[in-house]
Amino acid sequence: MAPAYLRRNQSHTLEELPPRIETEEWVRFGREDLDAYREAVARRVAQQALALAVREARAEGWSWDRISVALGGSLNGETLRRNFSDE
């Protein structure tokens, strides 16, 4: 005889759980964690600034390659198009 499996729906099991308790705990970053956090925030800010610059340049009719040149050529036009195009 094969083992039997009892399947239960989430709506049935939620009734059996105790009330959810949420707590907020603050911890201080260590030096290494703080540095990593600051780097992540700086990268995010830089990414947002780049996205804004690309959007404004495209609104002015600039080509992807022209934007690439204006940004110093670190990203080619195709990479910019893939990452920032709404098309």
pLDDT tens, residue by residue, 60-71: 999 999 988 888
Q: Which pTM value belongs to this model?
A: 0.59
Distance CA 15, CA 55 (A): 49
pLDDT tens, residue by residue, 40-62: 999 999 999 999 999 999 999 99
Distance CA 4, CA 42 (A): 55
